[in-house]
Structure 1
Amino acid sequence: MNGPHPTSEPTTTNEVLVALGNTRSAVRRALVIERLSQAIAFGLLAVVVAVVLDRLLRLPPFIRVVELALLVGGGVAWFVMKVLPAFRFSPSLVEVALWLERGSAVARGKLAAGADLAQSQAAQGATINPLTSMVIDDAQAVSQTATYQRVNLQPANRATAAAMVAVSILVLLLVFAPETSKTALLRLLTPFADIQWPARTMVEPAMASLVHPRGVALSLRAQSVRGDAADMRVEAEYRLLRDGSGEWRKVLLSAQPDGAFERLVETDGESIEVLFRTEDMETLPIVIRLVPPPVVESARAIVTPPQYLSGKVDVRTIELGTGTDRRATVSPPVLTGSMITIDADMRGTSAVPPESPARALWLAETISLVGLDGAQITPQFTVDGTNQTHWSVSWVAAGRGVLELKPRGADGILPSERIAFEIPAIDDAPPTITIVEPTADETVTPEATPLVVAEGRDDFGVKRSWIDVSVTRNETPSRRVATVEGSQGVSARVETTLLLSEFAVEPGDRVVCVGNITDAFESNGSPRPVVVSSPRVFRVISASELSAQVRSRLGQMREAASRLREEQAGIADAMKDVVERTKTNGAAATEAERAQIAGSEGRMADRIAAFERSLAELASKLERNKTDGEGLSETIQEASQLAQTASQRSQEGATALPDASLGAEAAERASESESALADLETALQRDRESAELTRRIDKLAERIDA
């Protein structure tokens, strides 16, 4: 045969198939790496999301079970749908060649045909003809450039990088937050285990004591130690235990400015068990024992008056109650210096220390007594040796006298209420004495016989009262001329009529009367100083000087009488006018005006009566001084009668005027009052003219004698 002989090319055929097989393995390896890396990255991301949700929302166990099931199911699904197919990736070499031809123009139409012929030739194990060999050679020529270059490793690299980042983050968390990581994984993997996140908010019990008085409201108090107290909600769950059992109750605590939370609850039980809870934590229960507080069952005070009042003031026994109500304040107050003894029957108190210094310290902590000006008083304290619940406290009354008891009971428990007794003391007021007659200093003549009356008083009796009378002349020392004794008792009176002529007084002298009084008061054995009144001074003048004073006063009164007469004339004219109009217009038309004028007339009657009393005082002054005032007594007597008449007529007119039928009579009485005042003015003017005439005659006589 002239044609070429077939030759065997196993090496060339194997090279094509090996290149395509290597390409297939590279693709499978890239797919496996990519899918496994994605599983790691997405799996860790899903775990982080689940943990974050649990951390933020504090998911309950059944939700965490759902999370765990979703994570496991998602992982299994990813492995089955993504990773396992990657491991099983094994297409035929011809398919690999066709895939490579789609991405390479040089290999298109050559590589797949060559791969197919090479597989067929390798399977038959026969020699290949030259045409087949040419196709296989062409496939071999392009296989080196169309295989490895076509495997895209970027997705695998990206997935590997993401997986490495996720693993790195996990390692960092495990290294730097091992407890948090451990808690997160345990809560995720064991949803029903009692594993809690670290609390975002936290409180701790802030109870003042684990022992509390029974029956007194207890403040359930918790202090914030983590979290913002302003946004925190704190609850307390408690139960009152009676006979070892009680029903749990929940209460919401109120926020306080200092970051604490508290709520008052009742304490009617043997003990109270309480725990505090925030949104993500709760404290362990604590038990507070409720014990009866120490109290005063009854107390009484025995008040013994000072020694100087023995027999005059009785011993007082006062029931003080329990020291927590109004009975504990004594009213009226006791006398300063009285001996006060309080006997109290106690309950629930601890034993009194028998020996010092423990007893002294116990007394300082248990008994406080405030006396005068807030000063502390140390009282005498005794306790019944056989009955430690009977206390006796004694002291000498002074100042406020506030006795406060702070007994301690079991476990040092203090009273639930303030126990205090207040027995105020007031000083024994000094006696008082006043000269009531005369009411003011006077001028008198040497022949005067003035009446002097002093009145004194003391709450517990006057021991002695008297008036000292002394005479002072010019600059010489005063000389005592008389001492007049008075009465005793709660009210004392000293009364005497001074006969100035017996004291040999002269014009210019001063007779001074001073009231004196003492009581039974004693302080440390010393009596109280004598209490004296304001002095009453009688200035001695001559009879003529007295007459001049009286006459001057009468001159002033004459001017007053003139003004009264003018006002009375106006009232009389008004009465006449209103009476005429009443006749014309009727009583109803002038009723209000008549009432107004009647009021003015009534006030005028009062003023005239006061004028009359002033005249009577002048007459009495002349009488006390044993002189007629150079004829002034007759003038004063006449003026007094006229003033009395004017006052009576004015009063009658004021009474009659409101009655329209008596209008004319009222007007007549007003006119009579005016006439009496005019006569009064004339009488006083006549005395003035007579006095002036007498003065001129006296001067003329003096000139003639000269």
Structure 2
Amino acid sequence: MRPDALTNENPLHTMKSVNSNLPIEPHHLPERLKSQFSKLKARLWRIELALGVAWGTFAVLVSFLTSFALDRWQDTPSLIRGTLLLGALSAICLSGGWWCWRWVIAQRNLRDYSRLVQRRYRILGDRLLGIVELTEDKSAETSYSEELYLAAVQQVDLDARGCDFTAAVSTRLLSRLGAGSAVLAILTFILLAILPGAFSNTLSRWINPGGNTPRYTLVTIKPNTSEHLAIRGESFFLEADVNYLSFWKPGTVTVQLDSGYQVMGEVQDNRIRLEIPGQFKETSMQMTVGDGMAESKIRPMQRPTLVSLNASIKMPAYLNLKDASIDVESGGLDILKGSEVKVAGAINRPLQEIVLNWGSTNRVPVSISNVTFTTDWLSTTNAFEADIHWKDQFGFTNAQPWKLNIRQRDDAAPTFQFPELYREMAILETEAVELKTEVRDDFGVKEFGIDWETINGVKPSRDVLDVDFKDSSLHAAQKELKVSFYFSPNLYDIEPGDVVELRGYVTDYFPDREPGKTALYRIHIVSAVEHAERIRQQLEALLTQLEDVSRLEQSIATATDETLEKMDTLSEEDLAARLQDQATDQKLNASQLSEMARKGMETLKEAMRNPTFTDEVMSEWSKTLSEMQQLADQKMQDAAKALSKASQSPPSQSPPSQSPPS
């Protein structure tokens, strides 16, 4: 029976109990156990060496592939690439340091191997570790029995025959690391095979994170321009070319603006064309297709605007006028038919192109100089509208064509007026009358005058008319003239009783136009005696009317006195009605007297033309008419107001007494 068959005690304890006084000599393990331990050590050396290599390989592959993946997503910063490389190198150093620690610095002994075996083979218990400890004990003396020691060693050796110490080395972690590394290695070789450019670029950037190696992308984006000029607040189209460098051809494009707005679209025929919403301030945007990225700026601008627009007008040759220049920014142009026009203007930015459509001739030649443009002389025949399109140096145009309305008018006929002459009038044979004239023409008066003759056959010669009753403008630009001609019957031997018929005439510069003429005016020539008789008759009629006014005023005064006498017997309503009627009559009578005074003054002015009336007569009549006017404007009006007020007063207030005018 084995010494430890009944108990599971350490053989060392058993030997101590058998013979504690026998000295123990140093012993050696059986050759079989030594061989087992040697195989275990060799196996463990290989496994841990492979494990260190696997750890380093796994770390390197993970670091590289992570850098590769990040480069597909964005331009990986050198700090991140440096961190990845440092991580891989650290993993290599740690795995190498761990292996050196295990096999160079702090090597395992048989006790460590025994513990490793015991964890795999529980049947050996602590016995294997016990005999190893006894074997390595260097004490000169021992209290253990050599026989028991040998028996224990033989028993452990016998039990260990069915155990493979190399199986105590776990390969699970190595298998997992190896499998992971193999997968990563296969993936790496696949990437090398299908994406050699991206692979070598990532490797170069990974090995030298501080270098200037540009990022390699599988998709390249080439915008039409690095700075997009756009109309402020208006959407525009972003265009770019897409180049695929591999089998991977992503079709979605994403544009991210600084403002946070994002626009997505599709790549069609290797072209990007996206509508970007209007921007109001300068901003940046980033285009992304797959791993390709491109940045550009958006600079909003106002549309080119018209700064000035002038039209030079060449009048028809018959007017002999200088060229005129007018501002037509308002959009309207008024011209005379037959004129020619030259258009000149300026835009707020240098011009690339300008198109001017003129009337029915459509596009006309335009000269461009930086921001200005000029046309040649343009005919206005059948030209009633023009529109202008312009394009600036950036390719921007006006939002809509600028319209110019062309209003053409005919050269109107001139006009002639006698502003202070009656169609029918009379003058004394000795009187000289001033014939005031006003002539007008829209583009200049040429000549004008007066033609006259009497009904009794008095007709002046052409020379007399040209000298005394004809005038002309000083220059072609005179559009309005005011001239007075003087006419006296005695000067042209016109007898009293004759009638002068006259007309005004005027011409302008329009070819072959008939002179413009006024209506027929008639001037009756009267003698001083006949004129004095007419004045006398008018004054006698005025005196007759004055008597009527006086009688009416007497009637109003009488009615007022009767109202005063009956005031106590009349009701309030009747009294007010009578007083109101009398006030109305008083106002009407005052108005009639004022009108008579006015007509009398006009008659008096007419009488002053006649020398037969003496100064004394004129002074007497002037005094009488002034008193009539004063009476109508003051006393009679005051009486009317008093009566009107009394009609609205309580019965206790008596109306004013009324006395007729003298």
TM range (shorter): 0.3 to 0.5
Using the size of structure 2 for normalisation, the TM-score is 0.42
> Relative CO higher for 1 or 2, CA cutoff 8 Å, sep ≥ 6?
2
Higher helix share goes to which structure? 1
